[in-house]
Every structure is written in structure tokens, then in C-alpha cells.
Amino acid sequence: MSDHYACIVDLLGRYVCLDEAKNLVDSMPIQPDAVVWGSLLGGCKVHGNIKLGKYVAEKLTEIDGDSSGPYFLLSNIYGKFHVLMVKDKRQAKKKEIYSTLRNLFKVMKFFGYVPNARDLESSEEVSSDLNTLEPEELEVPIEVDVA
């Protein structure tokens, strides 16, 4: 039965009905599993809903704390929310943004994420900064409003 809910949540998420999808998950007569929460997180990623995405990622880590998937998807949501050019000195909150990205990257590395070197080649500044992170330095990421 959970698979049926996951399909409906996925469809609602695809059609920007994230509130309805969350309400459905909250009202399910059975405990939502990782597939259901993952479907909702996928919708958050597609539409860049950071607030709900953080909530859903927390639910997923409660169910399966060993999975790096929720952190990876959450980092994609943050990336979609704001694309920061490395050479852009006009961004007033650049330090806060990089701090948040570093914290997310630390958590992802802790859970086993290995970055693709080609993805980091385009920015030597970001590449050298992110590759020096250690899992012992884990912090809770903060949300940065860049508007």
C-alpha cells in the first residue's frame, strides 16, 4: 500500500502540489516509509522548496540514518535555489553561502559521498575549499536567504 502512496506523492510533487503531497503523507493511515518521503523530497528538489526539503530530509535520516541520499538531494535543492558564481564579488552573503555549502558537503562526505573531480574542476577556488573538509568538523547547515 505504501507504494501507492509514493506514486501519488510523486505525481503531486511533479505538478507543484507540494503542500497537498505533504498533507497526504501526514494523513496516511500507515507510517510513511523512505520511498514515500523520498518521493516528496524529489518534488522539493524539482521545485526548489528548501524549507519542506529540509523537513523531509530530516524524516528520511530518522528512517535510514546511514543513507547519504537525503543530503545529496538537499544539496541539489540548495544549488537550485541559488547559483553562485565563484568570481561574483557582488554577492553580499557569499561567506554565509559558502559556509552552508561546506557544512552540507561535510555531511555528505561523512555519509560516503565522493565528489566527481570533473564537477569540481570548473572552479579551483571551490574545489580546493571543499576538498579540504574533514568529517570530524560536522556542523548543522544553516539556511541562507540570499534575496
Question: What is the band of 91 on the pLDDT scale with cuts at 50, 70, 90?
Answer: low
Considering the domain architecture, whether residues 74 and 91 belong to the same structural domain is answered as: no
What's the pTM value of the predicted model, to 2 decimals? Answer: 0.56
Q: Are residues 73 and 104 in the same domain?
A: no
Query: End of a domain among 49, 81, 113?
Result: 81
125 pLDDT tier (thresholds 50, 70, 90): very low
Residues 70 and 100 occupy one common structural domain: no
Share of the chain above pLDDT 90, in %: 28
Half-sphere exposure of 96 (CA within 13 A, CB side): 10
| pLDDT value, residue 115 | 64
Q: Are residues 19 and 72 in the same domain?
A: yes
74 and 88: one domain? Answer: no
Q: Which residue has the cell 565522493?
A: 114
Residue 28 sits in the same domain as residue 56: yes
- Residue 68, pLDDT > 70, answer yes
Q: Name the residue with higher pLDDT: 135 or 109.
A: 109
From 19, 13, 21, 5, select the one nearest 47 (Cα to Cα): 13
- The CA distance from 85 to 104, in Å, is 18
Q: Which of 55, 81, 107 is the last residue of a domain?
A: 81
Q: Which of 29, 55, 81 is the last residue of a domain?
A: 81
State residue 133's pLDDT score: 45
* Overall domain count for the chain: 2
**Does 27 lie in the same domain as 93?**
no
93 is in which domain, residue-wise? Answer: 84-147
Closest CA to 32 of 3, 70, 67, 73: 3
